[in-house]
Structure formats: structure tokens, C-alpha cells
């Protein structure tokens, strides 16, 4: 098993998906206009940007030197929707894709090689899109996990059916040491990795609803200190506010990607 490597002094340099298999390991935006997207999210969420190992089309957002999310300017090249997508860590991208297809899911892109790893974009049985990643995680990824700047929630037709689908692909609740735990709590399926809540799955989405926010989908949440300020900035920068409450707002960027800003609180 390929575990992380250590620098002098014991700090973590690289974490492999073998060490955190089955858990959400990243969120990434597929965009058409990288410059516009970077400017929007800098204004709304205060992100700064740095190059990624994957090439010029990829950038990493950071806050206080902690990686937050990625942007991939590949929507036009791959003829895919502009969207925020969660990625799950897998030991083998090929095996994960095969498992998904065997269980009624579809492969939209990949697996493709992006040294230092391999990625694929998939859709589950109800059409919700997600990604998988095999290989090294972004530098300082452990800071990302501990800072918990993002959270994901699956809105789907049947939470139990979805949990079985993802569990069989990602080895949730298996007999493998270190696997993610799955429990039913408060009307939702709750996913934990190393004791921490990392995702939730809720029932109620409609398969053929005209509104894409009602159809099955993974929703990416970003933790913020001021929801109202983020909503105002989104409108000022050419985005829009789809819905807003006291502690949460669903926003859309100028290219059409939806995301949620949520007041920092317990999960």
C-alpha cells in the first residue's frame, strides 16, 4: 500500500488515495473561461490561485496556504457541462469505473491519466455526476481535510439505494481497514471517514424534474463566515442568487455552475 511520504520534521508531503480510499478527496470546477472564474471566486470567496501539477488548464484555489478547490478549464474541450463536482479517492480508477458500470452507472470521461494520478467523471444510476481520483492528492491535502472548507451532500431519489451504489463502488462499510462508515441518522445517510462526517445523502430529488436543482445531484458547499456578503458579491460579479436563507445561499457563477455557501457550523 502506498502511504504518504514524510519530510524531515515529520510533516506530510504526499497523501495517496490508497490511504483515504472511499472518502471525498477534492472538489473541482469544470469551466470554459478560467480567468473569469478565478476572478469571480476570488471576489466571492476570497480565494487566491496557484498552478497545479496537472498543467496550464488546471489551477488550485488556496486560503491562508490551505488548498480549497480546483478549477479545470476543460468544459469546452471535453464537451461537458460547467459544474462543481466532488471527487472520491480510489485505489484503482479502472476498477471503480468498471464497478459503476456494472451497477447501472455511466462513465462520461476517462479514466484519463493526469500525472500524478488518474481521473474519471461518472454518473450514478439516477444521473448525479461525481468524479474519482487515483494517485497522489494535492499538496497540503491534510490541511484541506482538517480545515474542512468544503462539504458535499447528495440529493437523490432514494438515499438507501444510492448508499448501496456508492458503497459497492467505493468500499464503504466494507471489511477493509480504514473504510468509510455509513449510518442512518435523522432521516439521512451519513458518511464518516476517520470519525469525521464527510458527506450526507438525502432522499426526495425527482429524476425528471425540469429544475436541475431538484433532479438528483451532488451539491458542493463552501464554509464561509458571511453568507450575505458572498451573495452580494456573487451578484456584483455577474453571478446570481438562486435561493438564500439566514445560514445558507445557493449561488450561480457567471458560467452557470451552481454551488452553496454555508455559515461555518457543525455538520
pTM: 0.90
pLDDT at 87: 97
pLDDT at 64: 87
Nearest to 150 by CA among 90, 65, 70: 70
pLDDT at 76: 63
**pLDDT tier at 149 (50, 70, 90 boundaries)?**
confident
**pLDDT tier at 14 (50, 70, 90 boundaries)?**
confident
pLDDT at 5: 29
pLDDT at 57: 78
Determine contact, residues 28/44, Cβ cutoff 8 Å: no
pLDDT at 118: 93
**80 or 189: whose pLDDT is higher?**
189
- pLDDT over 90, % of the chain: 64
How big, in percent rounded to 5, are the helix, strand and coil portions of the chain? 20, 40, 40
Average pLDDT, integer, range 45-68: 87
Answer whether residue 43 shows pLDDT above 90. Answer: yes
pLDDT at 73: 81
Q: 204-213 — which CB contacts under 8 Å span 24+ positions?
A: 204/155, 204/157, 205/126, 205/155, 205/156, 205/157, 206/157, 207/126, 207/127, 207/157, 212/258, 213/242, 213/250, 213/258
Average pLDDT, integer, range 251-267: 88
Q: Could you tell me the CA-to-CA distances from 201 to 61, 208, 227 in Å, in that order?
A: 26, 19, 23
Name the average pLDDT for the chain: 88
**pLDDT tier at 9 (50, 70, 90 boundaries)?**
very low
Amino acid at each position: 500500500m502506498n502511504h504518504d511520504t514524510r519530510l524531515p520534521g515529520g510533516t506530510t508531503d504526499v497523501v495517496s488515495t490508497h490511504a483515504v480510499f472511499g472518502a471525498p478527496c477534492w472538489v473541482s470546477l469544470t469551466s470554459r473561461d478560467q480567468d473569469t472564474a478565478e476572478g469571480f471566486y476570488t471576489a466571492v470567496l476570497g480565494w487566491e490561485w496557484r498552478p497545479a501539477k496537472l498543467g496550464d488548464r488546471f489551477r488550485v484555489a488556496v486560503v491562508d496556504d490551505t488548498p480549497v478547490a480546483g478549477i479545470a478549464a476543460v468544459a469546452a474541450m471535453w464537451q461537458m457541462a460547467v459544474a462543481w463536482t466532488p471527487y472520491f479517492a480510489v485505489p484503482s480508477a479502472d476498477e471503480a469505473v468498471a464497478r459503476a458500470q456494472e451497477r447501472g452507472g455511466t462513465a462520461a470521461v476517462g479514466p484519463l491519466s493526469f500525472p500524478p494520478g488518474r481521473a474519471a467523471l461518472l454518473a450514478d444510476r439516477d444521473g448525479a455526476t461525481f468524479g474519482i481520483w487515483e494517485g497522489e492528492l494535492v499538496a497540503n491535502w491534510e490541511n484541506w481535510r482538517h480545515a474542512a472548507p468544503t462539504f458535499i451532500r447528495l440529493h437523490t431519489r432514494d438515499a438507501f439505494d444510492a448508499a448501496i451504489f456508492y458503497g459497492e463502488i467505493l468500499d464503504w462499510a466494507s471489511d477493509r481497514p480504514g473504510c468509510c462508515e455509513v449510518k442512518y441518522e435523522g432521516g439521512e445517510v451519513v458518511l464518516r471517514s476517520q470519525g469525521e462526517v464527510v458527506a450526507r445523502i438525502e432522499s426526495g430529488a425527482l429524476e425528471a424534474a425540469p429544475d436541475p436543482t431538484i433532479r438528483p445531484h451532488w451539491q458542493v458547499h463552501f464554509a464561509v463566515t458571511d453568507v450575505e456578503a458572498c451573495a452580494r458579491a456573487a451578484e456584483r460579479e455577474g453571478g446570481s442568487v438562486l435561493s438564500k436563507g439566514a445560514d445558507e445561499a445557493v449561488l450561480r457563477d457567471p458560467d452557470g455552475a451552481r454551488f452553496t455557501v454555508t455559515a461555518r457550523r457543525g455538520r
